[in-house]
Amino acid sequence: MRAALLIGAAAVALSACDGEPGPLQRGPDPQLPEPRRGLLPDMTIPRPASWGNDRPAVPQGYRIEAIATDLRVPRQTLVLPNGDILVAEGMGSSAPPLRPKDVIAGFIKSLGKSSVEGGNRLTLLRDADGDGTYETRGIFAGNLNAPYGLALANGAIYVANQDSLVRFDYRDGQTEASGPPARVTDLPSAINHHWTKALAASPDGRFLYVGIGSNSNITERGMEAEVDRAMVWQVDAQTGAHRPYATGLRNPTALAIQPGTDQLWAVVNERDEIGPNLVPDYLTAVREGGFYGWPYSYWGQNVDSRAQPQDPSKVASAIRPDYALGAHVAALGLAFSTPAMGADFAEGVFVGEHGSWNRSQPVGYRVVFVPFRDGRPAGDPIDVVSGFLTDDGKARGRPVGVSVDPRGALIVADDLSNVVWRITASR
């Protein structure tokens, strides 16, 4: 009965005041509103709908095709040197609720998820003749534990499960693993409020970078639950030895190395429950030894009074991120582009935005391109894949991971319609 009353209260709380964030809330210097707190945040999520004969919208001069359907919750993808595509399929465990509002939020979020059980596997797609049709599909490896991050280095495929970083030996053209994976290191998995583990490899293959999200929104489980959380680990690929590389990143959901450099970049999902337009999820270069604010502050030195006790020295050291994507867009994918994607998308990053659940007007539900100039974000985000939301407020898909095939294709994993999409320039 109490849960029903609170759901009713949440519905009353919904209002039109949290419309689409304006352009001033995106980019390198967003205008941040005052925090707004209440009994419950605004919560609504589009219910799933079928694509039918429709497809997502792409810019003029481009086309989109579904290259794999009926997958089991595809999350991230990896384009291998021969053009094969690996797809990580899985869904991690949910943290036990602490408060009645957690029960409500969990119920609402569940309404926007696929009903398909996660595959706990890697699927391999192959287009043998290069015509854009991936005629071969098979299981590269199974019996994994909510695989998410993928990387290729040192003649091996590395997989970040929700509880461990593992390695499969790999030779070019291999279609299935030759045996069970070797464990590189355990990853924090107690409670697992944020279960996804993002992954990238240094260009020389010496180090692996693992994004590990916090165990709470804003430390409501206590700081003991946040040990080794809300940070990026640097892992020695040979020994598994690890150390914090950067901290204060609430939920770093995707990592990528900038081409031609050793610079690590991340997209980060920020904190909730202080308003529909706070706090912006962001794209940022990740500085070694840097602290990015969580839980004490956001977007630099904006103090979050909910984190107690406060730490003024930490607040003073907090780094402002490079580029705001907008609050609650739930950025889960990140990939640097190449000139093969066309002049409009030659330099910059593609970002998969999974979409909000805690606003009365949904945001995200698209893939955007953030243009770069001289190696830094420079310009407004451009919609690249959209149309996931219907006119009557339902969702036909939710983009997650994005990868760029250097031959000129954007690969997008959609974990609601269980499809992998391929976007290319029209010929």
Domain-located, residue 338: yes
Task: Give the Cα separation of 154 and 390 in Å (integer).
Answer: 44
Q: Which tens digits make up the pLDDT trace of 90-127?
A: 999 878 888 777 887 788 788 778 889 999 999 999 99
Q: How many other CB atoms sit within 10 Å of the CB of residue 39?
A: 10
Nearest to 31 by CA among 280, 248, 271: 280
Q: What is the pTM (predicted TM-score) of this model? A: 0.94
Across 10-14, 23-27, 299-303, least confident range: 10-14
Domain-located, residue 205: yes
Domain-located, residue 118: yes
Task: Give the Cα separation of 108 and 361 in Å (integer).
Answer: 14
**Segments forming the whole domain that contains residue 51:** 2-17+31-425
Domain-located, residue 369: yes
> Is the separation of the CB atoms in 257 and 299 below 8 Å?
no
Is the confidence at residue 9, as pLDDT, over 50?
A: no
Looking at residue 17, what is its pLDDT? 45
Domain-located, residue 22: no
Q: Which tens digits make up the pLDDT trace of 265-283?
A: 999 999 999 999 999 999 9
Domain-located, residue 99: yes
Domain-located, residue 23: no
- What total number of domains does the chain contain? 1
> Is the separation of the CB atoms in 14 and 360 below 8 Å?
yes
Looking at residue 286, what is its pLDDT? 98
Q: Which tens digits make up the pLDDT trace of 48-58?
A: 999 999 999 99
User: Residue 172 sits in a domain of what CATH number?
Assistant: 2.120.10.30
Residue identified by tokens 């990238």 is: 200
Element at 90 (helix H, strand E)? none
> Is the separation of the CB atoms in 170 and 150 below 8 Å?
no
Q: How would residue 168 be classed by pLDDT, with cut points 50, 70 and 90?
A: very high
Domain-located, residue 25: no
